[in-house]
Chain A
Amino acid sequence: QITLRESGPTLVIPTQTLTLTCTFSGFSLSTSGVGVGWIRQPPGKALEWLALIYWDDDKRYSPSLKSRLTITKDTSKNQVVLTMINMDSVDTATYYCANFWFGESFEHWGQGTLVTVSS
């Protein structure tokens, strides 16, 4: 059974850096073809893809947010970490992680974590 769970702060001060961790089980990021991505959803709005990382450490970022994002993996801990710098109120959203196979859609989703950006 594949599960993913997001963790991190619920409140972030504007201009600060957000660090989120996705901890997963039921698959390994050392397996060829596997990847994990991050997606966010502002309240009442659509899903927005942020970043993804492949088993071979190849990384891709949303062009509109690329300068603010860093994605890394710790295969031994079954974790993927997303860092977003210079947070603003417009970044208030529920942040999800999800896994996928190379060339396939996101398949298993975490429950999401709501991050509020406010002073």
Chain B
Amino acid sequence: QPVLTQSSSVSASLGSSVKLTCTLSSGHSSYIIAWHQQQPGKAPRYLMKLEGSGRYNRGSGVPDRFSGSISGADRYLTISNLQSEDEADYFCETWDTSTRVFGGGTKLTVL
């Protein structure tokens, strides 16, 4: 079963860019992941799917300020031109035919 590792917190300034990391466990570096955003007090919201090729597909209505990339087992979510509403928890998810796994989440603070 894959394991997803995320840093617990990150902060960045309004209008800047930030790159969040989700690392796949050994032997699972080719897995597809998804990124979800959870604003305070709200349900998670699907942001995008990020394939092992580096190609990503944003969900409906997700601004193009959100983009994805990869490097080896690392999966990245980059948010450009940070807005106050981007302050949230960000979770990565992966899956196979038998299981679903979430990372521990990264809390993004917009300064």
Real binding pair: yes
Identify the A interface with B (CB < 8 A).
37, 39, 46-49, 52, 60, 62-63, 96, 98, 104-112
Q: What residues on A are CB-neighbors of B32 within 8 Å?
A: 105
CB distance from A94 to the nearest CB of B (A): 8
Question: Is B100's beta carbon under 8 Å from chain A?
Answer: yes
Instruction: Tell me what chain A mostly uses at the interface: helix, strand, loop, or mixed.
Output: strand
User: Complex formed: what's the CA distance from A48 to B97 in Å?
Assistant: 17
Given contacts A105-B46, A106-B44, list 6 more A-B pairs with CB under 8 A. A46-B104, A46-B105, A63-B99, A96-B44, A105-B32, A109-B43
Q: How far is the CA of A6 from the CA of B95 in the complex (A)?
A: 23
Instruction: List chain A residues, Cβ under 8 A from B103.
Output: 46
- Report the Cα distance A96→B45, complex, angstroms: 12
0/1 per residue, B30-43, Cβ < 8 Å to A?
00111010000001
**CA A105 – CA B46 in complex, angstroms?**
9
Determine the distance from Cα of A20 to Cα of B76 in the docked complex, in whole angstroms: 34
B17 at the interface (CB under 8 A from A): no
Given A46-B91, A105-B49, A105-B95, check contact A110 B43 (CB 8 Å). yes
A111 to B39, CA, bound (A): 12
**11 cross-chain CB contacts under 8 A:** A46-B105, A47-B102, A60-B98, A104-B49, A105-B46, A106-B36, A106-B46, A107-B46, A107-B59, A109-B43, A109-B46
Question: Contacting A49 at CB < 8 Å: which of B46, B101, B104?
Answer: B101
Cα distance, A108 to B102, chains bound together (Å): 16
Task: Write out, one digit per residue, whether chain B residues 79-111 have a CB within 8 A of any chain A CB (1) or not (0).
Answer: 000000000000101010111111111000000
Q: Which residue of B lies closest to A48 (CB)?
A: B102
- Once bound together, how far apart are the Cα atoms of A46 and B99, in whole Å? 17
Q: How far is the CB of B99 from chain A (nearest CB, A)?
A: 7
CA of A74 to CA of B22, assembled, Å: 36
Min Cβ gap B6→A in Å is: 9
CA distance A62 to B101 in the complex (A): 9
Contact B44 A105 (CB under 8 A): no
Q: Which residues of B contact A48 (CB under 8 A)?
A: 102
